Amino acid sequence: MNTLTNTPFNFPGQKKVYHGKVRDVYTLENDILLMIASDRISAFDVVLPKGIPFKGQILNQIATKMMDATSDLVPNWLIATPDPNVAIGHACEPFKVEMVIRGYLSGHAAREYKEGKRTLCGVTMPEGMIENDKFPTPIITPATKAEAGMHDEDISREDILKRKIVSEEDYLVLEDYTRKLFQRGTEIAAARGLILVDTKYEFGKTKDGTIVLIDEIHTPDSSRYFYAEGYQERQNRGEAQKQLSKEFVRQWLIQNGFQGKEGQQVPFMSDEYVESVSERYIELYENITGEPFLKADVTNIVERIEKNVTRYFSEE
């Protein structure tokens, strides 16, 4: 199965390109950004060696649907999606923090809690919780945006302001937007029989000083979902939750001795395993959006993208 793991484009008016862990961002003239969601998959801040069929399409299409569904609450960068893997929008100066918000004690927060820590990013977590319990109120636990090859790091609101990473005036807007988006995401998930457990949002500032939502939103790479049905029964019995997120990939890596630590080797990913991950992502798409997933033509993904993007700009 063909996958998109690198993007060798040179678009008209292209000024520079940034290759992220999953997305490649092309800066074009007239303050336009073109973002391509590749089929690369990362975990523990490491890009795994094989692409996942249709993953980029899934992430791009969920993100754009969710941006449309939240644009009345928070302005976003998006202008158009000329190809299943491509989003075009306004160039922004990104804030150097990711706004992570958690409704439940899961993932990284649960791992910290198990080690006896009761404070995460300067926020106190209540005593007596078990993994996947709901927090009394969602907590915001920001992370610094890492340079290539580096790990994102937890950071408190106090440190963000003290180190002047974000001004207090802007940070209050980021917090407000984060809570509003999480509330809307929670409502959308509930309508699909899901629980939005935790997620992260990224923001930028346009040339005119407007703070906008950028990158992805409510995708399985940036968010964790549980199935609502049976959630409380599983908690009562101390069982693992049935979830929709990239966590199943992290758990597979952990079981195979990899957590991104120095000296550890990424385990071999068989074609069967890669196919199973692709199927899980399609399941995620259909559950999160409530719509059937329509596979794009992957005969020649690079050629398809070039054609669709060229057509978009010629018709503008």
Q: Report pLDDT digits (tens) over 11-45.
A: 989 999 999 889 999 999 999 999 999 999 998 88
Under 8 Å between Cβ of 13 and 33:
no
- What pLDDT sits at residue 148? 52
- What pLDDT sits at residue 189? 96
**Mean residue pLDDT across the chain:** 94
**Of the candidates 167, 138, 142, the residue with the CA atom closest to the CA atom of residue 152:** 142
pLDDT at 167 over 90: yes
**Of the candidates 104, 48, 60, the residue with the CA atom closest to the CA atom of residue 252:** 48
Query: Per the structure block, which two tokens stand in for 316?
Result: 């503008």
**How many Å apart are CA 71 and CA 75, to the nearest integer?**
5
- What pLDDT sits at residue 237? 97
Please, which residues bridge with residue 96 across strands? none
Query: Per the structure block, which two tokens stand in for 190?
Result: 């509930």
Burial tier of 266 (Cβ tally within 10 Å: 0-12, 13-18, 19+): middle
Rounded to the nearest angstrom, the gap between the alpha carbon of residue 74 and the centroid of all alpha carbons in its chain is: 17
* Radius of gyration for the chain, computed over Cα atoms and rounded to the nearest angstrom: 19
- Give pTM, 2 decimals: 0.89
CA angle 218, 243, 184 (to 5 degrees): 30
- What pLDDT sits at residue 146? 62
Q: Of all helices (H) and strands (E), which one includes residue 254?
A: helix 247-255
Residues 6+ apart with CB under 8 A from 115: none
Under 8 Å between Cβ of 64 and 87:
yes
For the stretch 238-286, pLDDT in tens is 999 988 778 789 889 999 999 989 899 999 999 999 999 999 899 989 9
- Domains (ranges, CATH) in the chain? 94-245 (3.30.470.20)
- What pLDDT sits at residue 247? 78
Percent of the chain with pLDDT over 90: 86
For the stretch 105-160, pLDDT in tens is 999 999 999 999 999 999 999 999 999 999 999 999 999 976 655 567 899 999 99
